[in-house]
């Protein structure tokens, strides 16, 4: 689904008549991603609530594990920003 959205939006980008249209296209892309992400999160929450205190069959667990791998791959497409600053510690014990 996400790939289809990206392909459609890229098609729009290549067929734009004016560069000024680019800002609105990018806003539309971001809005569609936000909407899609919200829908996925809602479905995951629904599934988690439905599976509370339930013995999950191995094939269902395998599907959940596969989704976790796909989610990690999607997250890795845009790596988190790495800073050179060392982490600050709140541990005062010596």
pTM over 0.85: no
pLDDT at residue 88 in the model: 61
pLDDT at residue 16 in the model: 60
DSSP code string of the chain: -HHHHHHHHHHHHHT-S-TTHHHHHHHHHHHHHHHHHHHHHHHHHHHHHHTTT-PPPHHHHHHHHHHHHHHHHHHHTSPPP--SSPPP------
- Assign 17 a pLDDT band (cuts: 50, 70, 90): low
- Assign 93 a pLDDT band (cuts: 50, 70, 90): very low
Domain range list for the chain: 2-76
């Amino acid at each position: 689904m996400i790939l289809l959205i990206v392909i459609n939006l890229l098609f729009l980008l290549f067929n734009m008549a004016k560069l000024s249209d680019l800002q609105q296209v990018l806003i539309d892309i971001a809005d569609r991603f936000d909407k899609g992400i919200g829908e996925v999160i809602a479905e995951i929450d629904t599934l988690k609530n439905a599976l509370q205190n339930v013995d999950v069959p191995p094939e269902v667990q395998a599907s959940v594990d596969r989704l976790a791998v796909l989610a990690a791959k999607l997250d890795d497409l845009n790596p988190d920003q790495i800073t050179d600053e060392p982490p600050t510690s709140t541990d005062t014990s010596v």
